[in-house]
Chain A
Amino acid sequence: MFHHVPRVRLGLSIVAALGLLFVAGCGSSKSSSSTSSSSAPAASSSTTSSTASSASASSGTSSCGPKPGTAATGTPITLGAINTKEPGTDFTDIENMEGAYFACVNANGGVNGHPISLTKLTEATQPAQIAADASKLTQTDHVDGVSGSSSILECTINHSYWEKNHYYVIAAGIAPECYSTPNYADVNMGPRYSSDGAEQYVLTLHPSKIVFDQSNVPGTGYIAAGPAALAANAHVPITQLTENVPINDADSVALKEVDDAGPNGAVVLNFTPPEALVILQAAQKLGLENRVKAWACSTPCNTDFLATSLGSKWDGKFFVNAELADPDATNTPTMNLYRAILKQYGSDVSGGIGAFSEMGFTMGEIAQHALESITGPYTTASVNAAFKAIKNYNTGMLCQLWTFGDYPLHIANNEDYTVTPDNGKMVLKQGCTLISAVDPQIAQYRAAAGTAPLAPGQPSGS
């Protein structure tokens, strides 16, 4: 009988069990996360995209390959990617979009007649699983190169493995090691430099104080160092806050940010879209949007969904750093190809048009460009040498020409746009602007690699 068991013992057991479950839940949810054990299945899954898509080429997508309408039939060039997939955090749109890009290439002549085969692995932020994924790619699947990875921990866990095995990885990075180690180069700039960009813009509005708030996850110190350096250089006091995610008291979070910033201050956020949305909606509900001079956010906030959800009260008040060209406002051949490939080959890209699929597309075109430069056989050595040799490639998606290069660190994307909501859409507020070299990491990278030229056709912010 249940009432014969002491309620106190039951209560203590429940508190302990739920505490563990809560920790596991937090670890397996939202945004950047720790290595905590997760209730998600540990097994990684893998799929391989078709090496010779049966889909017929259409006029919209035929420009992705050298022979429109002719499927590539040569020996496949094998590439691999590792993406985080767990409850609440799913980056697989990135590798799926790269797979869609390669499907288009394969249906239109391939690379020198060879189709590209992409092995797509997933992981659930478990270090052992992530390390095993790298071994699987190299030793079981024998991939020639790695392109399309985007993972919370993959760079941290595997960077030394790639260095030891001479793989040069094209990725969309998150962890510090994606930017600070020699064998990764990313199409995005990641949370630190994107936060720099967001803060850099609001500093032009001369706020009396900055409040920088981000998810309380491993790596916050590394991210916070950039905005701190920019604020110090501008002689503007900064308060650094962190929030446990998922946020369950957004009203209090928004209130604290506004209280700390003061009426002439600015609030800069670095959260995933769902978390940023709850904070901004809470601020709106409490009537706080005009209680500070400006609000800003790193790249994840650059979604039309967020602009629509927030409404017109935030127009001209909220500024978001954007790492890739705006799909709505850009009508270039590259952007049209992106949209066409997404439509024809991107059935498994669940998020549709957006930053994730743009990153996958961009990595696909960079990898294709590198592979086309190889004249001999496609081997691990030749593919990785080609990846490393990429220099000043115009992606059509990024502000700058993109370079991998042989450097001790890589921040290949370090010039960004700023967008702001306007009638339910994010619109361009400021054209391409270099992230300030006041951030010591940016300074170190530019000292090694120089400043990449502005890509042709990109709007200059200066």
Chain B
Amino acid sequence: MLITSGILGLPSWQDFQPFLVTGLSLGGVYALSGVGMVVLYRATGVLNLAFGAVGAMGALIAWSLINHSGWNEWLAYAVCVLFGGVLTLVYGMVFGPALAKRDPLVKATATLGLTLILLGVMDLLWTSSGGASRSITLPTDNNTFMVSGIQVELTNVIAIALGLVIAVATSAFLRYTKLGTAMRAMANDREITATLGVPVRRVEAAAWFGCGLLSGIAGVLLADLVALDATTLTFLVISSLAATLIAQLRSISITFVAALVVGTVDALITPINSITNYRDLTPFVLAAAALLVLNRKRVISISREGI
């Protein structure tokens, strides 16, 4: 290890430890976001690319309520979460039926339209003119302890824990509840599920609403952990998306693990000078590599069938 470090100019394990801590907390929020996207995809076939933008707008609304209207912080954060749920639900109910039979790529592109609209609205309402900048500081930031020589906030712990809790709870929900079973059935075949008497629209609405609530939660956490900036929060969805793609938009548990890996690898690359400037490629590289490997397996499988 020491030899490798010396040859490649890698920092020591001790140097890596603080980056591991920061990477894991970001990975936790990526996991939370990824789970929301997977659940929605499994229920509706929509890859929600507006996840980040909805969360960003919710966080900016919360910031305005706290700083301009004097609202209680927790109430404002609750509004952010609720905003995410309601906006996503409205989008799903208005555009969902029309897009239900379209190609998944069309459905995903439609959410990209929502993303661009929200980005424009945010730029208009929360302008960056004059170098304006904003920030959200959660009360949990004040509870700290030391790990590997750096100060860790309770918010970091909450981010990881919440990611885990949401992943476990969602898995249990899909497996053991009637609504979850209906969602899984719809993932297999929407039309047959409808024929069997499952209220498809209501199940889809629940998925849209749940996904939206998670986008609101992720928006608040990322606004605190990363930055309260529309563009930054909107495009952070890419890291979560990478995790969902690695999980092939199916497995909640793989999404969770993949999100932690994306967040951690991204952070661990930072102190390595030779590649530090390329660390933003982490989600793309990991997702593309995973998809290519999975694709290779699929091709082999088909060829065997052919034989």
Contacts and interface: CB of A to CB of B under 8 A. Distances in A.
A274 B295 contact: no
B49 to A, nearest CB: 7
A256 interface: yes
Interface in A334-358: 349-352, 354-357
Interface of B: 11, 15, 18-19, 22-23, 25-26, 45, 47, 49, 101, 103-105, 107-109, 112, 116, 119-120, 123, 127-135, 141, 144, 146, 150-151, 153, 187-191, 225-227, 229-232, 234-236, 238-239, 241-242, 245, 248-250, 266-267, 270-271, 276-277, 279-280, 284, 287-288, 291, 294-295, 298
A426 to B, nearest CB: 13
Given A248-B236, A274-B133, A287-B151, A29 B45 contact: no
A20 B70 CA distance: 40
Nearest to A310: B135
26 contacts: A1-B45, A1-B189, A1-B190, A2-B104, A5-B104, A5-B105, A11-B248, A14-B49, A14-B105, A15-B288, A87-B231, A90-B127, A246-B232, A252-B22, A253-B270, A255-B19, A255-B22, A259-B271, A277-B133, A278-B135, A286-B22, A286-B151, A287-B151, A300-B131, A350-B129, A356-B130
Given A93-B129, A256-B276, A274 B229 contact: yes
B124 to A, nearest CB: 10
A285 interface: yes
Contact of A244 (B45, B238, B277, B295): B277
B128 A249 contact: no
Interface residues of A, number: 69
A6 B291 CA distance: 11
B229 A246 contact: yes
A408 interface: no
Given A10-B104, A350-B129, 15 more contacts: A5-B104, A13-B105, A14-B49, A15-B245, A29-B232, A30-B229, A88-B229, A246-B231, A247-B226, A247-B227, A248-B235, A251-B22, A285-B153, A286-B18, A300-B131
A274 B103 CA distance: 39
A21 interface: yes
A448 interface: no
B109 to A, nearest CB: 8
Contact of A273 (B133, B250, B270): B133
B97 to A, nearest CB: 14
A196 B285 CA distance: 37
Contact of B130 (A13, A93, A241, A248): A93
Contacts of B288: 12, 15
Contacts of B241: 14, 18
Contacts of A21: 112, 235
Given A3-B188, A90-B128, A259-B15, A10 B105 contact: yes
B22 A88 contact: no
A458 to B, nearest CB: 24
B231 A30 contact: yes
A217 interface: no
B38 to A, nearest CB: 11
B88 to A, nearest CB: 18
Contact of A8 (B134, B188, B298): B298
A11 B105 CA distance: 9
A170 to B, nearest CB: 20
Looking at A8, A91, A247, A281, which has the most chain B CB atoms within 10 Å of its CB? Answer: A8
Looking at B112, B132, B151, which has the most chain A CB atoms within 10 Å of its CB? Answer: B132
B131 A18 contact: no
Looking at A28, A246, A287, A356, which has the most chain B CB atoms within 10 Å of its CB? Answer: A246
A233 B235 CA distance: 41
Interface in A1-44: 1-3, 5-8, 10-15, 17-19, 21-22, 25-26, 28-30, 39
A349 to B, nearest CB: 8
